[in-house]
Amino acid sequence: MIRSFFCAATLIPCASFAGASASYTLDPLANSSGGTSGSSAAYSLTGSTTPGVQGGSSSYESRGGYAGQLGFFQGLVLFAAAANVEEEEDIQLGVAMSFDDGTSFPMAATDFAWSVASGPIAAISATGLASAGAVYEDSAATVHATNGTLSGNLTLMVLEADSDNYGTYAADGLPDAWQVLHFGIGSTKGGQNDDFDGDEVCNLVEFASGTNPADSTSGAGPLRLSGNILESAGAPLVEFAPALNVLDHRVLFIRRKDAGARNLIYAPQFSRNLSTWSNATTPQTIIADDGTYEVVSVRFPVLIGGRRSASKFFRMNLSIAPPP
């Protein structure tokens, strides 16, 4: 008689062997059989005898049936050395892969094609170094990175650091933002000596007097004052205003309160003959102030150039001093 012997074998998924990273290590004996638990100073793990399932805790997620703990890829994350960059400065960009467990893996910037989606970024090198262009106000810019089917965007702010360096308006003494507001971008009639609206008042005088350089009805007439309230901006006003021990006429003119910061110089001048002009020697008194502009009063002098004269003329000499 021949006897047959059958051996039955039960296959059980092997328990995890030793694993390690920069932040933890796991002794294989701590999880030597399915269903037991292991722990270290940084985490705890409950094993599973069923392949392919997953377990978790408040601080991690573990998926069984793999050679290690895995995370699902969520997408690319672009980042920069800072959230903002000043105009005409550089900033380093970077890329990382993000996973559903909150972790990320940095990638080489040279593995991606960089481009500018929108905004004032002048160029991006192959290494991800972005160069900001000139702006007339703080402006958002969006950069784009691609590698095959992977892509991502990042938006950062380019901050204005110089108020007079933008495009055709650069270094002309007038604030770029004011010029763009009234003349648009790239106008050839936006310089300080140009007359954009054709009212025979140059742009510098309109800026200094608070009038609208794009409205021909705005700068030609004199300013209007009611008591100590400035009703409307305009050209200097000569008026009869009798007072003791001084001449009866005075000049009222508008002056920007930020004139010092703008390097703007107002020089009231008087003449006897329209040929030789002298700066005012009489006191300048502020008689109205609306927070942005002030109205200044200056009396006609008794003497002009050290001499009396029956005829007296006035003009305002405006200039912009070179920056310090």
The DSSP output letter for 304 is: B
As a whole number, mean pLDDT of residues 41-64 equals 53
**β-pair type (150-159, 84-86):** parallel
First to last CA, the chain: 116
Phi, psi of 60 (to 5 degrees): -155, 170
pLDDT higher than 80, residue 23:
no
Residue ranges and CATH numbers for the domains of the chain are 19-63 (no CATH), 74-159 (2.60.40.3440), 176-320 (no CATH)
Q: Mean pLDDT: which of 7-21, 118-132, 268-282 is highest?
A: 118-132
Confidence of residue 243 (pLDDT cuts 50, 70, 90): confident
d(CA 142, CA 149): 19
**Distance between alpha carbon 238 and the CA centroid of its chain, in Å?**
43
Pick 180 or 311 by higher pLDDT: 180
Residues 6+ apart with CB under 8 A from 112: 95, 128, 145, 146, 147
b (16+ CB within 10 A) / e for 182-219:
bbeeebeebbbebbbbebebbbbbbbbbbbebbeeebb
Taking Cα atoms as reference points, which of 39, 14, 41, 13 lies closest to residue 27? 39
Global pTM? Answer: 0.73
* pLDDT tens-digit readout, 174-202: 999 999 999 999 999 999 999 999 999 99
Over residues 299-319, mean pLDDT: 83
Q: How many residues does the chain have?
A: 324
Residue 323 banded pLDDT, cuts 50, 70, 90? confident
191 vs 176: CA distance, rounded Å: 10
Confirm if 42 and 52 have CB atoms less than 8 A apart: no
Q: At 165, which helix (H) or strand (E)?
A: none
Residue of higher predicted confidence among 137 and 7: 137
pLDDT score recorded for residue 60: 54
Percentage of the chain surpassing pLDDT 90?
Answer: 64
Q: What is the mean pLDDT of the chain?
A: 83
Q: What is the structure's pLDDT at 11?
A: 35
- 112 pLDDT exceeds 70? yes
Nearest in space to 255 (alpha carbons), one of 199, 292, 294: 294
- Give per-residue pLDDT as tens, 255-281: 999 999 999 999 999 998 899 999 998
Q: Sign of the CA dihedral 262, 268, 273, 276? A: negative
pLDDT of residue 14 exceeding 50: no
